[in-house]
Amino acid sequence: SQQGEEDPQALSIQEGENATMNCSYKTSINNLQWYRQNSGRGLVHLILIRSNEREKHSGRLRVTLDTSKKSSSLLITASRAADTASYFCATPMDSSYKLIFGSGTRLLVRP
Amino acid sequence: NAGVTQTPKFQVLKTGQSMTLQCAQDMNHNSMYWYRQDPGMGLRLIYYSASEGTTDKGEVPNGYNVSRLNKREFSLRLESAAPSQTSVYFCASSEARQGGSPLHFGNGTRLTVT
């Protein structure tokens, strides 16, 4: 069974709009990570947020973490066509270094 | 700087054949991972290696074996391939710091079992 689940499964927006993706997980974690995957490629790490952090920024990306609700969100502001990709959250399995991925959100940014 | 290199990029096998997927990293990372990704789905962890000489099962280890040859290399072996193992296989590595470390991924091996 997967630890993290993203919502929505697919999202289509216009260039310039903001995109929000959510991730829910089941057990206590010490960190949560977000990754991007362009079609046919490997995953690329975006942001890591630790359990004692509530919000983290990186360029146009903002990640929040609510450990009481066991959820995280990824906000991409002022989206571009190049942001079209699948986005995955990942959390540790069994308090280990093993990372378990959700099923992802497919984002389409229309020019 | 190559990062994580996987070979081969593509492979077609017949049911029952065996093969080894190779992975090497040049970032001096302790931890290495093998994942599989089926169409439209997320990644599922097959095996994990915390350090040279150690391996641990992930979510879907059945039908696979691994070998952590040295710090750089982590191979995945299919002893008797089955059509259900048709997938894209990704290798990854990380520093494995306390509190979490990002994973660095290779570009994948696309395997088809007929």
What is the pLDDT, as a whole number, of residue A95?
Answer: 67
What is the length of chain B?
114
| SS3 category, B95 | coil
Confidence class for position A94, pLDDT limits 50, 70, 90:
confident
Arithmetic mean of pLDDT, A20-37? 94
**B42 with A98: Cβ contact below 8 A:** no
Q: What are phi and psi of A70, to 5 degrees?
A: 55, 55
What is the pLDDT, as a whole number, of residue A33?
Answer: 96
- The nearest alpha carbon in chain A to B48 belongs to A98
Stretches in chain B below the pLDDT threshold 50: none
What is the pLDDT, as a whole number, of residue A76?
Answer: 98
Q: Nearest CB to B107: which of A33, A41, A97? A: A41
Confidence class for position A58, pLDDT limits 50, 70, 90:
very high
pLDDT top residue among A40 and B28: B28
Q: What is the pLDDT of residues B9-36, one digit of tens each?
A: 999 999 999 999 999 999 999 999 999 9
Q: CB neighbours (10 Å) of residue B35?
A: 29
**How large a percentage of chain A has pLDDT more than 70?**
96
What is the pLDDT, as a whole number, of residue A4?
Answer: 73
- Residue type for position A69: K
**B43 with A48: Cβ contact below 8 A:** no
- The nearest alpha carbon in chain B to A98 belongs to B48
Q: Nearest CB to A101: which of B42, B56, B99? A: B42
**B45 with A90: Cβ contact below 8 A:** no
What is the pLDDT, as a whole number, of residue A1?
Answer: 43
